[in-house]
Structure 1
Amino acid sequence: MNAVSSVAPQPITDEEVKAALDIAVEQVRRNLPEFTHAAQNHSSIKNFYPPVANDQWTAGFWPGELWLAFEHSGDAAFRDAAQIQVQSFLHRIVNRIETDHHDMGFLYSPSCIAAWKLVGDEDGRRAAILAADQLIERFQPIGQFIQAWGRKGVAEEYRYIIDCLLNLPLLYWASRETGDPKYREIALIHARTTLANSVRPDDSTY
């Protein structure tokens, strides 16, 4: 039987962190030809996430990687590709392409809010505010929650899930950005409903 080492692991160094980030950035760079003008599929096919139209709930993750790569490297190629993605996201929300669900935060925070914060992209700001407007349309006053999916007013689709909480930061940002408290108020109401109904005594969730 191997003895368990009593030597405490050493903390990761700044050099190791930078080396890991450099590897990640190069992986993003290798994906630029496939995905500068496309989204990535929500799941892999033969170990590859094929390029698809921007109409899935996971589409915001790739531009989020682009912005992170730009932050780390300063390489304008990542900024340019990410801003191409911003135009796709603006088109999507203006035309309401597969946006009638709660995942607006997943879509518009890593793509468009990042664009506004990092490079002052006005289209990113506009798209993210429109996404926040769409999200609060799903608020159910009687149940006091943001409906996750499905047609509003249909009893069997009248529900939220714990994941809805991950989209609330979009609403807090929209209130700070616009000065309109309605987004924040709806986010707080939804959070309180979730705490009251979805958290067990042991702090796990339904």
Structure 2
Amino acid sequence: MINKVVSLLLISIILCGCNEMPGKKDIKKENEDQLLPVIDSTLKRAVKQYTYLSEITEKGRYPKTYIEKEKKIETSDSGWWCSGFFPGSLLYLDDIVGAPELKMKTDEVLEDLKKEQFNTTTHDLGFMMFCSFGNAERLNSNPSYQEILMNSARSLSTRYNDTVKAIRSWDSAPWNKAGKDDLVVIIDNMMNLELLFWATKHSNDSTFYKIAVNHANTTMQNHFREDHSSFHELIYDGNTGEVKAKITNQGASDSSSWARGQAWGLYGFVVMFRETKDIKYLTHAKNIADYLLSHPNLPEDKIPYWDFNAPGIPNALRDSSAGAIIASALLELSRYSTGDDKLRYLNNSKKILETLLTKDYIISEVGENGGFLLKHGVGNMPNGTEIDTPLSYGDYYLIEAMIRYLHSKQ
């Protein structure tokens, strides 16, 4: 059964067509949005695709990507940073389209994933637990989900360093020559703060709020260049708070703009404004958006190369996952904007979705692409992993962006 949001939007399109005078030439109305039926059909296909993916994914395993050469999906256990995206996508699809066939798999996955609430070895508990249990709690609030989310926030908080005023990302990163007393912080970590804001509101404990705000402030001060692009990774002296190095792990070079890193930063600071209403975060998010959208290396179809300074442009690979994250972030940013800014963010998010929902990027037949939706994601180019392939987080943020687009038309 199609969700009311989708149904009402499609009915409005039909009614626009019915208002034409008899015999009048069939001319599309200016307010008729041709992206809406494409999103509708894609979401329906996504339910079938994720039903297939659920059937071929073993219990206790989490789909990461698809290995084309071997014709098989690659999975992880619950401790991998991407484990929350599969159940998160199932929950989104059930909510917007109505997919009871996915409910049993969702419950099975959450039952396995819940043990990660006590995992203090990773900064990615926001991705793992809020994209999953956060959505589950939003859609069907219950004490069990709330307890899991609170424990997850407590576990994440153990990684906070009050000298640096930031949350530790990797415990061990031998490739960057960080010492045992150093604190490694990556831009991705902005995405885990939403869990802390939820914990603040649920518990009325301001500790979580202060950690999130301090981490965002430290990131805003040190991670960004004058042009509002972001470094991927910073190394701090954990005892003094001094910045020791500004480098990359997944970008083309230390001075380049790794596309998904820019997307994480944009999305994270939009969340910061939503949760604090502090205008400095909105200004920062807009600066990041303007950097991305005005970059001379952003293609006309708005799907970024895997790095904005990638070698070989214009023949470098695109990263569909970065495009999906940017589209979702821009749609929320448009809600807090007015005038030309609002229109620019909406138009660019729409253009990204229009591109991603073409046959060049999206599956056309159920069972293609190993059960995933999006093609042409780039995980870690320098390390040669997950190159030009589907990615679980690419699917998650594409589904989220489509849902946000539908809501933006209400």
TM-score range, shorter chain: 0.7 to 0.9
The Cα of 1:147 is off from its aligned counterpart by: 0.5
* 1:146 aligned partner, one-letter code: I
The Cα of 1:16 is off from its aligned counterpart by: 2.2
Give the alignment of 1:16-31 within 5 angstroms: 16-31=38-53
The Cα of 1:28 is off from its aligned counterpart by: 0.6
Scaled by the length of structure 1, the TM-score of the pair is 0.84
Q: 1 or 2, which has the higher strand percentage?
A: 2
How has the CA–CA distance of structure 1 residues 128 and 36 changed in structure 2, closer, same or farther, with 3 Å as cutoff? Answer: farther
The match for 2:227 is 202
The Cα of 1:36 is off from its aligned counterpart by: 6.8
How has the CA–CA distance of structure 1 residues 185 and 105 changed in structure 2, closer, same or farther, with 3 Å as cutoff? Answer: same
Q: 1 or 2, which has the higher helix percentage?
A: 1
How has the CA–CA distance of structure 1 residues 40 and 47 changed in structure 2, closer, same or farther, with 3 Å as cutoff? Answer: farther
Q: 2:137 aligns with which of 113, 116, 119?
A: 116
**Cα distance in structure 1, aligned partners of 2:43 and 2:140:** 21
The Cα of 1:113 is off from its aligned counterpart by: 1.0
**Cα distance in structure 2, aligned partners of 1:41 and 1:18:** 24
The match for 1:5 is none
- Report whether the alignment pairs 1:65 with 2:94: no
Which runs of 5 or more structure 1 residues have no equivalent in the other structure? 1-7
| Number of residue equivalences | 193
Q: 2:57 aligns with which of 35, 42, 55?
A: 35
The match for 1:3 is none
* 1:154 aligned partner, one-letter code: K
**Cα distance in structure 1, aligned partners of 2:102 and 2:91:** 7
* 1:118 aligned partner, one-letter code: L
The match for 2:168 is 147
The Cα of 1:93 is off from its aligned counterpart by: 2.4
* 1:180 aligned partner, one-letter code: D
1:106/1:167 contact within 8 Å kept: yes
**Cα distance in structure 1, aligned partners of 2:107 and 2:184:** 35
* 1:86 aligned partner, one-letter code: L
The Cα of 1:38 is off from its aligned counterpart by: 3.0
- Report whether the alignment pairs 1:90 with 2:90: no
**Cα distance in structure 2, aligned partners of 1:126 and 1:47:** 39
1:82/1:111 contact within 8 Å kept: no
**Cα distance in structure 2, aligned partners of 1:36 and 1:179:** 39
Moved more, 172-181 or 120-129: 120-129
Q: 1:167 aligns with which of 169, 172, 192?
A: 192
What secondary structure sits across from 2:169 in the alignment?
Answer: coil
**Cα distance in structure 1, aligned partners of 2:47 and 2:169:** 33
1:40/1:49 contact within 8 Å kept: no
**Cα distance in structure 1, aligned partners of 2:221 and 2:76:** 39
Which runs of 5 or more structure 2 residues have no equivalent in the other structure? 1-29, 173-178, 232-410
What secondary structure sits across from 1:29 in the alignment?
Answer: helix
1:89/1:127 contact within 8 Å kept: no
The match for 1:53 is 77
The match for 1:135 is 156
* 1:205 aligned partner, one-letter code: S
2:63/2:76 contact within 8 Å kept: yes
The Cα of 1:182 is off from its aligned counterpart by: 0.9
Identity %: 24
**Root mean square deviation of aligned Cα:** 2.2
How has the CA–CA distance of structure 1 residues 193 and 78 changed in structure 2, closer, same or farther, with 3 Å as cutoff? Answer: same
Bigger Rg over Cα? 2
The Cα of 1:154 is off from its aligned counterpart by: 2.2
Query: CA offsets, 1:77-104, max 9 Å, x none?
Result: 322321222211222324x3xx411101
The Cα of 1:41 is off from its aligned counterpart by: 4.6
Query: CA offsets, 1:47-76, max 9 Å, x none?
Result: 532344322111111001110111123232
**Cα distance in structure 2, aligned partners of 1:126 and 1:193:** 29
* 2:94 aligned partner, one-letter code: F
Q: 1:191 aligns with which of 216, 219, 234?
A: 216
**Cα distance in structure 1, aligned partners of 2:61 and 2:208:** 28
What secondary structure sits across from 1:159 in the alignment?
Answer: strand
Q: Which has the higher contact order (CA 8 A, sep 6+)?
A: 2
**Cα distance in structure 1, aligned partners of 2:71 and 2:164:** 42
Scaled by the length of structure 2, the TM-score of the pair is 0.44
The Cα of 1:121 is off from its aligned counterpart by: 4.0
